[in-house]
Amino acid sequence: MSPEQARGAQVDKGTDIWSLGVVLYEMVTGHTPFIGDTPREVMTSILEKEPPPLTSYSKQSPAELQEIISKALRKGRTERYQSASEILQALKNLRHNLELKDELERSTTAPLWLRWTRSPAALVLVLLVAALALAVPFYRHRNLTTSLPPDKSIAVLPFADLSEAKDQEYFCDGISEEILDGLARVDGLRVVGRTSSFSFKGKNANVSEVGKKLNVASVLEGTLRREGNRVRITAELVNTRNGFHLWSETYERELQGVFALQDEITRSIVEALKVKLAVSLPAHEQRNTEAYELYLQGLFFSNKSSEADLRRALDFFKSALEKDPTFSRAWTGIAKVWYFLADVYVKPLEAYPASREAALKAIA
């Protein structure tokens, strides 16, 4: 809960920055920044107190990292970073400075104040940059206003499972999320995050209603039918203001062709919305089919909240890595699951190191 939420004020992107600051603080220290024995005491702490410095828990935390996290947690939202991209850049700059200092220490006799670069602080920065790199597209494109939605805005709804056995929910959700992730990386396109888009799952809401609630001009919806290794996907891009179809297509592919199909759908949407790409979309990496299917199942369970589901997600991600040890996104999934397990199900001092280790492997 941010200070403005505690006061009952309207939330905005500044609230997102606060939440991100809380996450960063917890990742570095293994503790929540604002504590109290009762909800009222926690609220008072949020409104009136500053969190303990990072050095209270990690003596070698650099002062520059303290400044970055403190700015994200300022009481006044205008005093915080104005976007997650700004935090990412600040962390990248700090990581670069750490690397330069480390290089200097190896090549010369450096003073003692430089030697903290050999501490876990440098590794923590790598983890933070990795985590923010994944979070930026969603924080950057999130918009909570109720004004007329911008033309270049979209929500990706979870695809409906038309398979006869109705056992492909994980596959439908995973494909939808992968397309959403691809679109979120397109400059100039505002993409609603997964939580908001997937809140309409199974509700049969019309696109006009979705457009109003999510403040988007277009919605991508679709269906998926799978029979053995054959997949049939129908995707439709609809204007939320008038209900007209902007683009639609039906695809039939062998399972291994689904990887490239996700990119094809993403490019078609970009063309239909007439978004000018700052850079070309990268080609989708080649993946082991079995590993990718296991990854999608892990992704499905990682978005649930029970300990049993989260541990199932871990098992699926690990199985994916057994099939393809180079599958970095499976390591990202493991890092995310360990973070979700922290506090509620697993002690932070156990979960956060496991999350950090997986994140470092994801970007290795």
Q: Are residues 76 and 7 in the same domain?
A: yes
Amino acid 4: pLDDT:
81
Work out the pLDDT band at 279, boundaries 50, 70, 90.
very low
Closest CA to 12 of 83, 96, 92, 103: 83
Q: Are residues 79 and 165 in the same domain?
A: no
Q: Give the mean pLDDT of 316-340.
A: 92
- Please tell me the total count of domains within the chain: 3
* Terminal Cα-to-Cα distance of the chain (whole angstroms): 34
Q: Is 148 left (phi over 0), alpha (psi -120 to 50) or beta?
A: beta
Q: Are residues 126 and 44 in the same domain?
A: yes
Q: Decide which of 272, 307, 334 is a domain's last residue.
A: 272
Phi, psi (degrees; rounded to nearest 5) at 136: -55, -50
**In this structure, what CATH number is given to the domain that contains residue 332?**
1.25.40
Looking at every residue in the chain, the average pLDDT score rounds to: 81
Joined together, the tokens standing for residue 299 give 């992704």
- pLDDT over threshold 80, residue 332: yes
Q: Whole-model pTM?
A: 0.60
Residue 280 counted as domain residue: no
Q: Decide which of 272, 304, 338 is a domain's last residue.
A: 272
CA–CA distance, 273 with 220 (Å, rounded to integer): 12
Q: What range does the domain containing 50 cover?
A: 3-141
Amino acid 88: pLDDT:
80
Residue 148 counted as domain residue: no
Q: Are residues 187 and 228 in the same domain?
A: yes
Q: Are residues 123 and 236 in the same domain?
A: no
Q: Decide which of 141, 170, 192 is a domain's last residue.
A: 141
Amino acid 138: pLDDT:
47
Amino acid 288: pLDDT:
84
How does pLDDT run across 97-119, given as a tens digit for each residue? 776 666 665 555 544 444 444 44
Q: Tokens 């480390």 correspond to what residue?
A: 102
Q: Are residues 129 and 14 in the same domain?
A: yes
Residue 282 counted as domain residue: no
How does pLDDT run across 62-73, given as a tens digit for each residue? 888 899 999 999
- pLDDT over threshold 80, residue 123: no
Q: Are residues 59 and 114 in the same domain?
A: yes
Q: Are residues 268 and 330 in the same domain?
A: no
Q: Are residues 195 and 301 in the same domain?
A: no
Q: What is the 3-state secondary structure (H, E, C) of the chain?
A: CCHHHHCCCCCCHHHHHHHHHHHHHHHHHCCCCCCCCCHHHHHHHHHHCCCCCHHHCCCCCCHHHHHHHHHHCCCCHHHCCCCHHHHHHHHHHHHHHHHHHHHHHHHCCCCHHHHHHHCHHHHHHHHHHHHHHHHHHHHHHCCCCCCCCCCCEEEECCCEECCCCCCCHHHHHHHHHHHHHHHHCCCCCEECCHHHHHCCCCCCCCHHHHHHHHCCCEEEEEEEEEECCEEEEEEEEEECCCCCEEEEEEEEEEHHHHHHHHHHHHHHHHHHCCCCCCCCCCCCCCCCHHHHHHHHHHHHHHCCCCHHHHHHHHHHHHHHHHHCCCCHHHHHHHHHHHHHHECCCECHHHHHHHHHHHHHHHCC
Phi, psi (degrees; rounded to nearest 5) at 279: -140, 160
Work out the pLDDT band at 360, boundaries 50, 70, 90.
confident
Amino acid 234: pLDDT:
95
Amino acid 187: pLDDT:
79
Q: Are residues 7 and 132 in the same domain?
A: yes
- Looking at the DSSP bridge assignments, the partners of residue 154 are 191, 218
Q: Are residues 184 and 259 in the same domain?
A: yes
Q: Are residues 118 and 41 in the same domain?
A: yes
Residue 260 counted as domain residue: yes
